[in-house]
Structure 1
Amino acid sequence: MDTILSASFLTALFASGVRQSIPLIYGSVGDAVSERAGVMGISLEGEMLFGAFFSYLVALRTGSLWIGVLAGAAAGMLSSLIVAVWSVWLRQDQSIIGIMFNILAVGFTNFLNRMIFGTSNANITIETFQPIAIPGLSRVPVLGEIFFNQNILTYLSVVLAAVVFWVLRKTKLGLQLTAVGENPKAAQASGIQVYRFRLVAYMFCGFLAGIAGASLTLGSVGTFTESISAGRGFICLAIVILSRWNPLVALATSFGFGSIQALQIRLQVQGSALPYQVFVALPYLVTILALAIGGHNIRAPRELGVPFDKESR
């Protein structure tokens, strides 16, 4: 117990927690934008998988991590277009479409992985993004090692959350986006193109989900394994609810969940009489508990998940 509570253990734990939180930050910020426009991000899990697979494949073939990230982002965005067309234009049930898409993504990425690499790609690794120490700040005791000695995708995720928060709260675009999710009929009557806003918002969500997947393969493990997203897309949905659709709060909440993920990994390494499945389940148990405790009296965007028909009265 003394080892677990030592300063060195906690510093390493929270530094790992930051790394574990990166896909959660990208996914939850993108979902916050999409859900503010009225479109649920149920298919985040599948879009992360597509982003993870194609970012790894392209980075492996080209030797460029940044081209891999762009490929992952494009894969996430293009796959989200499928969901957006069915959910927004064809006005189908968003929950059902999202769930079916996730099933498709698991099967299709597994198929592509085995078709291209067989069963041996676990031995094919690529160099990942390396930590970049921020001069001065990285030397601050404890905090420097935790927050200021991370890879570039980490720093970009913080900038992203701040910029999206500013856009949503301080710009006309953010107000229009919020109007589309709260009262799309009034928004349409005032000249706002509701379908267009919802499509773009969800494709932006898919774009960031693709980067979230890329952060797993190119920022962490350096390879692709089947179902590598491991439920992170669903955790992002919980983060968005708990953060009340606020990107900056989602940033902090993602760090909390990332630290839980890092804790379960380190508890396994420490050794325990408990089955390892208990530790694997820990982040998801915490997610359910957090929603049960903190999910009361939270008001979602009024038209979230409700198909919009501009012809109806």
Structure 2
Amino acid sequence: MIKVGIVGGTGYTGVELLRLLANHPSVEVQVITSRSEEGIAVADMFPNLRGHFDLCFTVPDVDRLAECDVVFFATPHGVAMSMAPDLIRRGVRVIDLGADFRIKDVSLWSQWYKLEHTCPDLVEMAVYGLPEVNRQQITDAQLIACPGCYPTATQLGFLPLLEQGLIDHRRLIADCKSGVSGAGRGASVGALLCETSESMKAYAVAGHRHLPEIRQGLSEAAGRPVGLTFVPHLTPMIRGIHSTLYATLKDPKDGLQSLFEERYKDEPFVDVMPEGSHPETRSVKGANTCRISVFRPQNDDTVVVLSVIDNLVKGAAGQAVQNMNIMFGLDEASGLGIVGLMP
């Protein structure tokens, strides 16, 4: 059994990790931490986990976490980089669901996250945990930087086109909508029901923290720096991301459907839908699946890709478990064979 520790077990991604790991056949969760909820039983805070975990939240302790085989950080940025060095020195494998190790340019990271990075050497060794791109590197990694939710949906949608050099890499547009859980579990006026229900709004149009991460991944796929306009929106739903992606084809022609089908034919968690389909966020609710469809409206030179995920699963906890499975040589789908919830 793989001994697992979770730092930050009370946020939405933390409890989602617990939900997924509760039925994982090869995992034993030994430590779940929370400074604010120390001593409280996990099942008392999250009754859906009753009968699955007989653990209480504890204050993070490196010595106790070091007894685990792998530690997940489901924490705000800045937390993982304060503890990961000690754990890695002791041979523990680390999967960070936060942003501490995603961006390779440390000065750029500091610019967007308003913190000085305390362990840039670990940024260099971290593997970006998008299995559809870095599966081989994930196998031998000791530190995984799990991608963000917007970056996951956006990169998976653009990758086949950029890898084949079919689109103008200078003018990419990502128009993305997210459910309110993407803002986290902490109380804030902007996430209140009365503030979000029956309304939709764009935010961070001038610049969102996920922008440099998305650019980094797309630039690697294109083999050159890309130009990207990324506009996120907040929608009145709990879970889900819908990314509508636009690009200009260099040589407009048919074959885009087969291109996507071929690129993702062996990917267990990317579903290229039949031609003409419009994927819905509710079809991936609770599942570690990205559903994609591709269009060329009016047979013109614009390609439109629709990409949907559950931001808490394929956009966070599910992808983290997928990475763990790869790291430990398990069936990649172990513990993740969950069908989306309908309705």
Give the TM bin, normalised by the shorter chain.
Answer: under 0.3
- Scaled by the length of structure 1, the TM-score of the pair is 0.25
The structure with the greater share of residues assigned to helix is 1
Q: With structure 2 as the length reference, what TM-score do the two structures score?
A: 0.23
Higher relative CO (Cα under 8 Å, sequence separation at least 6) belongs to 1
- Normalized per residue, the structure richer in strand is 2
